[in-house]
Amino acid sequence: MKFFEKVKKVFNFLLDCLFPRCCIICNKKVDGADYYNLCSSCIVKIQWITGNKCSLCSRPMGDTEVTSGEKPICIECKASPPNFKSSMSCWLHTGVGRDIILTLKYRNADFLKNDIATLLKNYCSEVREFVANSLLVPVPIHYFRRVKRGYNQTEIIAHAIAKIVDSATVIDILKSKNKKSQTKLKYNERLLNIKDMFECSINSGDIPQDSKIVIVDDVLTTGSTLNECCRILQGAGFSNLHVLTLSYG
């Protein structure tokens, strides 16, 4: 072990003694050196999406719904294809996975950025391939809500991903015009609220129109917000559009 690494190890040990790291989910002491705010017993409870899933909307699918040799597409997407070419969600929106999203949303959770990057690096290596050579566009929140909250959680997620994928760049080209949150609205109310909620802040030609764009959000539920983001970007001339969320459900 090099001298600098030894010093770092001793320094981290002393820091842990003075300010013990606590898990944001269960409040127990964080074990190991990889994570700052998540303990190993909570991490193993995250339900990663690993089986068959719709290649468009990420909905988990049963074996009987999948035809071999074809990209799996769910009934809903066949009936009404989304405005994006593919999507990826990392874990199910339940238990610890859901608690991480709620912490990101409501607890000023910039401190989770490093842990999310480490989680994806260790458990969801497909993310690297999915976002390679892409522009990562966080789903925006309205300026007033951003000031009130102090941050936008989708920016934290996008920067966590860019931390582990050198060829991906975070770019802020969508703006929200609507102050009303989607969170507590019913499905039909969401569709109405979302209409023309966003605008694209760049002019055609500012970046190549065939750029691979991955829109980043915390959770994919109805997909209406992400679909509308893509519709606005299509209007600005972009067509290579994809979607990535941490959670699904």
Q: Among 15-23, 180-188, 191-199, 240-248, which window interacts with Zn ion (CB under 5 A)?
A: 15-23
The residue with tokens 């035809």 is 67
Q: Which of 74, 104, 161, 194 binds Zn ion (CB under 5 A)?
A: 74
- Find the binder of Zn ion among 37, 49, 53, 56 (CB under 5 A): 56
Least distance from Zn ion to the Cβ atom of residue 4, Å: 31
- Of 58 and 182, the one with the shorter C-beta distance to Zn ion is 58
Q: Is 59 exposed, middle or buried (0-12, 13-18, 19+ CB in 10 A)?
A: buried
List, in order, residues 6 or more apart from 92 with CB less than 8 Å away.
Answer: 47, 49, 60, 247, 248, 249
Out of 46, 49, 57, 119, the residue judged to bind Zn ion by CB under 5 A = 57
Instruction: Find all residues with CB under 8 Å of 147, minimum gap 6, and list them.
Output: none
User: 46, 49, 77, 216: which one contacts Zn ion (CB under 5 A)?
Assistant: 77
For Zn ion, the closer CB: 39 or 241: 39
Specify the residue, 56 or 241, whose C-beta has the smaller distance to Zn ion. 56
Give min distance, CB of 2 to Zn ion, in A: 32
Phi, psi of 68 (to 5 degrees): -65, 145
Instruction: Starting at the earlier edge strand, list the strands of the sheet with 169-170.
Output: 86-92, 241-248, 213-220, 135-138, 169-170
Of 57-65, 109-117, 118-126, 229-237: span binding Zn ion (CB under 5 A)? 57-65
Detail the DSSP E strand segments found in 34-119. Answer: 86-92
Measured CA to CA, the distance from residue 130 to residue 246 in angstroms comes to 13
Minimum CB separation from Zn ion for residue 247, in Å? 16
Q: Which of residues 18-47 bind Zn ion (CB under 5 A)?
A: 23, 25-26, 39, 42
Beta strands in 123-225 (DSSP E): 135-138, 169-170, 174-176, 198-200, 213-220
> Given the rule CB under 5 A, which of 50-58, 182-190, 205-213, 223-231 is the region that contacts Zn ion?
50-58
Q: Which is nearer to Zn ion, 38 or 200 (CB)?
A: 38
Residue with tokens 């917000």: 225
204-243: contacts with Zn ion (CB under 5 A): none
Number of residues that bind Zn ion (CB under 5 A): 11
**213 CB-near residues (< 8 Å, 6+ apart):** 134, 135, 137, 233, 238, 240, 241, 242
Minimum CB distance to Zn ion smaller for 26 or for 92: 26
How many CB atoms are closer than 10 A to CB 141? 22
Question: Site residues (CB under 5 A) for Zn ion?
Answer: 23, 25-26, 39, 42, 54, 56-57, 59, 74, 77
